[in-house]
Each structure stands twice: as structure tokens, then as C-alpha cells.
A and B are shown apart, each in its own frame.
Chain A
Amino acid sequence: MRDFLKALLLFLLSFNHSYAGDVLTQITTRLAKTPITSGNFQQEKRLKILRKPLQSTGTFTYHQSKGVIWKTLTPVASLLLVNDTRLLTAQGELAVPAAFGKVFTAMLGGNLNQLSDGFSITGADQKSSWQLELKPKDELLKKIISSIVLSGDNELRLLEIQEAGGNATRIEFDKITHPTQLTSEQEADFEHLSP
């Protein structure tokens, strides 16, 4: 009996695994993949110790080779630039924490396949929308992030990060467009990232 259960469990696990891979491929094909994606975001951070959430809005720009511009407009204007290997904030250069850059650019660029290296992924693909849950494999990252939930249709619409400490961040995207060229302002921002 126990052997049977074990076998069942193994079967389910392996089934689950291939299923996740299929879902990921399906979703990735659904997502609009263009060299440039930009749009607005609304971010809400809930920190346990604060009585109210930290709400901010701004714009983002993804460029497939240059990285991401994350521009917060309210309540305090600030600029964050990130690519695979560099992370620039108003405080200067920071180490890219635990593959953050890759994850961030993969999500915004719709290259969800790349995420399977660092995360174990489960999810569902329905007609109107899809949802994925990512759990980090990296031991260090596990201590910070317990899970990331992504959902959307032909675009990524929602990103929720659940931190191990109980804090959570929810980012909604809208007004997503796929321009063929960067504006000169965006070009100038990306310029900071080139070595």
C-alpha cells in the first residue's frame, strides 16, 4: 500500500512537472513578444509594521537588449535602471541581488521560459487569462522571497511578490504598448547602463 502511494506520488510529481513545462510554453507563446514594451504601473507594498500600504505609480520601459527603466513618479520621483548584470539607483550602483536583473527583465519581456532556471513553476492556462506561481530554488533567495505570482492575458497584467518575512508587493500594469522605437529620453536613461 505504501509502495503504491509512493508510486502515485512520484507519478503525480512527474506529471505535475511536465504539465508546468507545457503551461509555461503555452503562456510564453501567448505573450506578445516585441523588442520594446512600455506602460504604466501601480505598485502597492504592504509592510507588516506599517498601518497603511506604500503606494506608488510610474512608468516602465523594457528593451530586449538594453534592460528595464523603472520610473517612479509618485509619491517620490526616482529612477531604477536594470539589466542582466547591472543595477543603478539614485543611490548609485548596487549589486544585482540574486539574479534579480534576469528575473525582472524576463518577466517584463515575456520570456517566462528563462525563469525556470531559478524557480520551480506551477500554473494554469485558461482561455481568457493565465496564472503562474514561482518559488525560488536558490537558498538565499528563499529566505527573502517565498513566492511570486504572475498573471495576465496576452500581456503580463499583475505581479505579486510574497516575501518570507510577511511583507507583500503587488504591481499592476496597464496602458501597455509596443513601440518600435525608444524615445530620446528613454535612450538617454539606458545610456547610464552601458559600461
Chain B
Amino acid sequence: MVISILGSQALRRDWLETGFLALLPTTEQKPEIAKATKQHNELMARKVIWLTGAATSQAAIVQAQQLKQQLQQSGLFNRIQLEFSAQNYRESYQHLFPFRYQLLDSQTKLILTVNPKDLIAQNLEILYSPIGQMQSTDLERDPLLLFSRYFNAQNPIKLNVEQGVVILHDEQKYWALLLTDLQDNTNKLEKLEILLDLAGSAKSQAQAAGGDLMVSGMPLFTAVGAQSANQEISTVGIGSSVGIVLLMLLTFRSPRPLLLSFLAIGCGMFSALVLSVLFFGKINIITLVFGASLIGVADDYAVHFFCDSFGSEDWNPRRGLRYILPGLFIGLLTHLLSYAGLGFSPFPGLQEMAFFSAIGLLVAWLTVVMLFPVLLTSFKPEHEPKILKLTSYWQQHWPAWLLKNKRWLSVIVLVFIIGGIWQLTPRDDVRLLQSPPAELIKTADIIKQLFPSSQDNQFFLVSGNDQNDWHHNEQQLLKRLEALKQQHALKYYQGISDYWPNENDQRENYQLLKQTFYESGLLKQYMTDLGFTDAAVKAEQQQFLATENKSIALTPWLKIADETRQQLWLGCDSEHCSSIVSLTGISDLPALAELQNLPGVSLVDPVGDLSALFARYRVRASWLLVGAYALVFMGLGLKFGWRNGLTIISVPAVAALVSLAMMGWFDQLFSLFNLFALLLVLGIGIDDAVFFFMAEDKRASTSLAVTLSALTTLLAFGLLAVSSTEIVHAFGFTIATGILTALMCAPLIGFRAYKI
């Protein structure tokens, strides 16, 4: 009751998280790096880039204009930019032109320092060239063309613009560029679906009109991921439900066990959902995928209960419960222990899954233990199901056969295990978390080729004690980056201090111009040679003198700067000022990483860091796994004696080894997540082994219970193996092989004892 009231409230809010980034840990980073990464990610999570293609640039523009209208009508975006008007230039001209003597770009500054006459030569080249009119429109107000130099240096990536629209081109087509930002970065599922539909229909429209459309951006990847996760939830959910229904009906020929099973599962899942949402605020869609597979495990308790009814003639629910309770309890404990193992990983995603699963299991268990004895009153199956005959035949003959052939079997198994584990190669790349369709990746690559200004994942974080310190640090970094750029270690980089000299540098720039041009007579000579009147020379001299004490501070400068630049500035707090230096087209990451020895500079590589983290935690999880096995062994040893404990634990241990070997043989993805899957194999394997161990004269009904529960679990987790997300697939594969092996080994437990 309480849970359902809480639930109705919790689920009314927006509770579903679809972004995969939310699954990843952030806690390991320094707070300022975490903040920068977060800011960077949030930006990326909103950007969608559209390119309409056609045979002529004109047609591409027309298509882009139609697309723009469609996008506007959708209401999904808060920024849709097609026209990159001269507005930008005009605005920056208006505000920055008065500071042209202070705001020199680094190239101009270098020329002035080394050989000021080169500036004249360059200007003459511009003025005499047939395209000069573009750059020399303002010769009258700015004879040295200082501002146009500064403005051009600010836009290092030259894009062709027609009618204000950026036109890119490849061999076959012209592409018009449209940039959009989604309204928020929460990536709500229904919005993402609208986005996918929109992209799909716009693409077919464009193609029908003889053109083409390419769309890319993080939201799209998330949308596709969420869509496939959604389908997987239903596949896993429906698949396992149907399987369970069939199995239960065939076995018990009565609707009561079935309904009760669903009651247990339903209670478990619903409480898990509600409590998780209450606890975490939001839960990720991937959690739900794993959650769906919980059906198989939660069902086990019920199955054990029902199957026990076949075990003895004078069965009644209370006596049954008393008999299976120790087994159920140990099973629950082992499972909870496994989930606790997941919960102590630093991955918010896994914590969520662990919490969700633990709650789900606990509630399902409590439902079985507390409600079933009451609800099952007078339940007693009259028939002996065929499957019972099958499993009791199997539990007698299979272990006997195994024991008879144990010599050569053990050699084969040993070779198989060693060979498989030998071939096991870990892959820790975090990108495998998401396995987007190849087409999406291809489009993203093409767009990156065409439109190189999209930033890489890696960036530099630069900080300093105050603004001057920060500026100094960033300048040092940018100098080294320029050298690396010349060596083709990267294509572009962007840092604010390249465009905004601090007040001190602004004074220096002014003084530099004063020495080289305005006081040396060079200006007069240059202007007179070009044909300016004496009056014009005088006017320019006066202009210069009048601005001697001018300077522009960072804040007003940022206000006019374009958005991408504003986003580079992270601001100052009481201790630090920091900024991002963005990178594009990196080809030599190690060379960039070396720059971290500069003061206040760190290279942030979210993907690389996470992959490294995955690798580190894979090692840690291996120990966790060993620890969990040891702990369970201790528990079993204390309860059943060390020898028996060893026998019982050997079932999940062999299952885990075989599972690992299978991954090796079949070249499955092996990462941190498979190890977590093996934790679950521990829980399930112990379940199977303990029940057989405690079965004594009820081996027939126990084998039915173990087989049924293994089948239901297999249906649930095994279905994860169909997932298109590689990691989920690997998880499912690991569990499926683990469960099968455990099922094969479990009947050996207590077999000889029973015979004697």
C-alpha cells in the first residue's frame, strides 16, 4: 500500500533517464575537471547538426530553408542557425573596433616585433589583389587594416558562405549547414523520439526531392540507443514472461502458481522501480533493461516453493516453507551479496542496477516467504508432471554418466577452460557502452570530414590563481599548441586568450605599434606611398593618440564574443580562474598529454579517462569476485563444514570458469561488466548447489525446481544476449553460459551421498 502510494507520486514526475553518460562515474575527478567535463558534456548533449545536400549550392540552400521551417515548427530546439549573417561581424566591429590598437592577433604582434615592414608588404598584397575590396573596405578608418587582421585571425576555419548560409562540398554534392541546439539536455524519451522521426522523415523528403540529408549529434546517438533499449526491454520482458507462463502452466496445470509467481515478480519489480526512483530521483533506461531480466531470478523463489509440493505426499505450504527456507535464505543472501558487490563500484549506473535488483529480489522473496504459505493453503497438485519425470530421470543418469566418464571429461573441460581463458583479451573502451548503428557513425565521420570545426572529445583545462595567472598559463599552453599544430599533431585549437589579450598585453600591443609605426615615421611613409592625403595621415595619428589609455576587460569582451568562445570561459571563484582550450582533429594525443607539465594545465580526455577507469576497475572487480567467492565459501564452510562448502562453491566456480572460457573461444567482449555478470552467476550457482545439497530424499522435486528456475533465468538473462548494445549482449552471454554450466554441475552435489 505504502509503496503504491509513493509510487503513484514518484512516477508522475519525469523519472526516466536516457543519456548514457549518466551511467558513468564522475566522482574520481578533481572538482574543477568534473565541472568542466560536465559543462562540456551538457553542451554536446544538445547539439544536432544538419546538412542538406544537392547538386547545386542554390538547391542545397533552398532545402535547408525548408528544413529550417520544419524544425521551427517542431518546437524541439531553442537555437536553429542557418544564416550566419554579417550581423556577427557588424556587432563585433561596433564594439571592438575602438580597441583595434590594443587587440592585436598573435601573428600581427609577431610581425611587428620581428620586422614591421612585413606588415606593409602584406597589406599591399591584400590591397592589390583582385579580392582586396573585401578586406580593404575600411582602409579609410583603419589604414593598417589592423581590425580586419584581428577579425580574420579570430575565425581560423574559413567557411564558404552563400546568401549567409555556410556551404560545404565534397566530390558529388554541395551541402548547406544548419546548426541546432535542443531545448534542454535532459533528453526526454518522447522528445528524442520526435527528433528521430523528424530526422527520418526529413531525410526521406530530401531524398524524394533528389537531394540528401545528413544528421548527426549526441542526442541522435542517445535517441537510437534509447529506442533499441526500449525494444530490448519489451523483448526481454515479453520473452521471459511468455516463457515462464508456458513453463508454469505445463508443469503445474493450474493457474494459481502462475498468478502467484506474477504476484511475487510484480511486487518485486514495482517496489524496485518506485524505491529506485525515490532514492535516485531518476533511473536510467539501461537499468530497466537489466531490471526486466530480474523476472527470471525473482521467479526462482516461487518456483522452488511450488516444486517442493511434488516432493512429499503429505505436503502443505507451511511445512514446505520450513523445508526450503534455509535454501531460499542462503540463495537470497548470496544474491544480495553479489548486488552489494555491484553497488560498491563507482558507476552510478551499476549502483542503480544493484539497488534496483536487490530491492526487487528482496520484495519478491518476502512475498514468497510471507504470503505464499497463506495463499497456497490447500494447494496440492494431483498430477505428476511429465517434466518432473524428465528431470528426475536426468538427475539420476546425468551425474552417473559424468562420474563414469570423469577421466576424459575432466581433461576436456580443463583444456577447454585453459584454452578459452588463454584467449581472453580485455577490451575496456568506454565507447562500447553504446553501440550505435554503423550508419550513424559513418554519417558522423563524413560530417567531421566536411565540417572540421566540430570539437574533439578531449580538451585542455587551464587554471590560474587569478585572471592574470590564468592568462599567462593559457598563453604558455597556446604557444606550445601552435608548435604542435605546425607539426600536424592537431588541426585546430581554440583558447580565449588568443583573442583577448589581457590589459597588460593590450598596453604592450599599443606600445609596440607606437614604436614601430606611429612614432617612427613608418606610418606616414606607408600612407603617403599609398596615396593618402596628409590630412588623412594626421587624422590617423590623432586617432591613435586618443586611445592610448583604452583597454577592454574580459567580461565585456566575452559579451560580444560568439557563443562557442563564451563557452570556453569557466569563470573565476575565490581561488581559481579557469578556461577550456578546445581541440579539433587530434592525431597525436600523447604529444598533447605531455603539455600537462605546464603550470595549471591538464588534459581532460573523458573517453580515455573512462576507458582507463574501466580497465582499473576490471582488475579491481576481479578481486571483488574472488573476495565474494571466498566470503561465500567461508559462510558455507561455517554452516555445512569446510568439505561440503568446497563442494557447493565448486558449482559456481566451475560455471564462472567455463563462462570465461566461452567468452575467450567466442571472442566476446570482455570487460568489467562480464565480471559483474559472474557475480550473479555466483548467486545463481550457489542457489542450485545448495538446493541439491539439502535435497536429501527430495532430489526429484529439487531437480525440477532447479531446472525450472534455471530455464526462467536463462530466458530472462539469456535474452539480454540478443541486445544490440555490445555490453548488454556480453552480459547476457556470460550469464547464460554460467547458468547452463551451473545447471549441468549442480546434480553432482549430494549425488553419491544419496546413492549410498
Which residues of A approach B to under 8 Å, CB–CB? 43, 45, 47-54, 56, 70, 72, 75-76, 78, 80, 84-85, 87, 89-91, 93-100, 104, 117, 138-140, 143-145, 161, 163, 165, 167, 169, 171
Contact = CB atoms under 8 A, between A and B. Distances in A.
B193 to A, nearest CB: 38
Given A51-B531, A51-B533, A117-B58, A167 B158 contact: no
B124 A75 contact: yes
B128 A98 contact: no
B280 to A, nearest CB: 49
B115 interface: no
Q: Is the interface of A mostly helix, strand, loop or mixed?
A: mixed
Interface string B133-146: 11011011000000
The 7 nearest A-B residue pairs measured at CB? A50-B531, A95-B158, A52-B531, A78-B125, A51-B531, A49-B140, A56-B128
A144 B124 contact: no
Which secondary structure dominates where chain B touches chain A? Answer: mixed
Contacts of B136: 47
Given A85-B169, A165-B137, A93 B158 contact: yes
Contacts of A167: 133
Contacts of B163: 138-140
B42 to A, nearest CB: 30
Contact of B128 (A52, A54, A96, A117): A54
Contacts, number: 96
Contacts of B129: 70, 72, 78, 80, 89
A94 B531 contact: no
A41 to B, nearest CB: 9
A39 B597 CA distance: 56
Contacts of B161: 95, 97-98, 140
16 contacts: A48-B140, A49-B536, A72-B128, A76-B121, A76-B124, A76-B125, A87-B131, A89-B126, A94-B131, A95-B159, A95-B160, A97-B134, A139-B163, A140-B161, A144-B137, A161-B133
Contacts of B86: 140, 143
A78 B161 CA distance: 25
Contacts of A56: 128
Nearest to A159: B130
A97 B86 CA distance: 12
B125 A89 contact: yes
Interface in B91-125: 121-122, 124-125
A94 B158 contact: yes
Interface residues of B, number: 35
A100 B158 CA distance: 14
Nearest to B141: A49
Given A95-B158, A95-B160, A97-B131, A47 B125 contact: no
Contact of B162 (A78, A94, A98, A144): A98
A61 B159 CA distance: 25
A189 to B, nearest CB: 15
Contacts of A94: 131, 158
A145 B137 CA distance: 11
Given A43-B128, A76-B125, A94-B158, 18 more contacts: A45-B127, A45-B128, A50-B530, A50-B532, A51-B533, A53-B531, A72-B125, A72-B128, A76-B124, A78-B125, A78-B128, A78-B129, A80-B129, A80-B131, A85-B160, A89-B129, A96-B160, A97-B131
B164 interface: yes
B119 to A, nearest CB: 12
Contacts of B133: 144-145, 161, 163, 167, 169
Interface in B14-63: 56-58
Nearest to A163: B133
B419 interface: no
Interface of B: 56-58, 86, 121-122, 124-134, 136-137, 139-140, 152, 158-164, 169, 530-533, 536
A127 B331 CA distance: 103
Contacts of B169: 84-85
Contacts of A84: 169
A126 to B, nearest CB: 27
Nearest to A41: B130
A149 B421 CA distance: 79
Contact of B139 (A49, A51, A78, A89): A49
Contacts of A45: 127-128, 132
A31 B508 CA distance: 57
Contacts of A161: 133
B162 A138 contact: yes
Contact of B130 (A90, A99, A169): A169
B125 A99 contact: no
A51 B130 CA distance: 19
Contacts of B532: 49-51
A74 to B, nearest CB: 9
A15 B294 CA distance: 79
A116 to B, nearest CB: 12
Contacts of B533: 51
A43 B162 contact: no
B125 A90 contact: yes
Given A99-B162, A139-B163, A163-B133, A91 B139 contact: no
Contacts of B530: 50, 54
B530 to A, nearest CB: 6
Nearest to A167: B133
Contact of A91 (B125, B127, B160): B125
A172 B161 CA distance: 29
A80 B122 contact: no
Contacts of A85: 160, 169
Contacts of B131: 80, 87, 89, 94, 97, 100
A91 B119 CA distance: 11
A132 to B, nearest CB: 18
Contacts of A47: 136, 139, 531
A110 to B, nearest CB: 18
Given A49-B536, A51-B533, A78-B129, A90 B122 contact: yes
Contacts of A95: 158-161
A151 to B, nearest CB: 17
A43 B122 contact: no
A82 B170 CA distance: 17
Contacts of B122: 90-91
Contacts of B124: 75-76
A29 to B, nearest CB: 24
A171 B530 CA distance: 19
A54 B140 CA distance: 15
A100 B135 CA distance: 14
B158 A76 contact: no
Contacts of A76: 121, 124-125, 128
Contacts of A145: 133
A169 B162 CA distance: 23
Contacts of A72: 125, 128-129
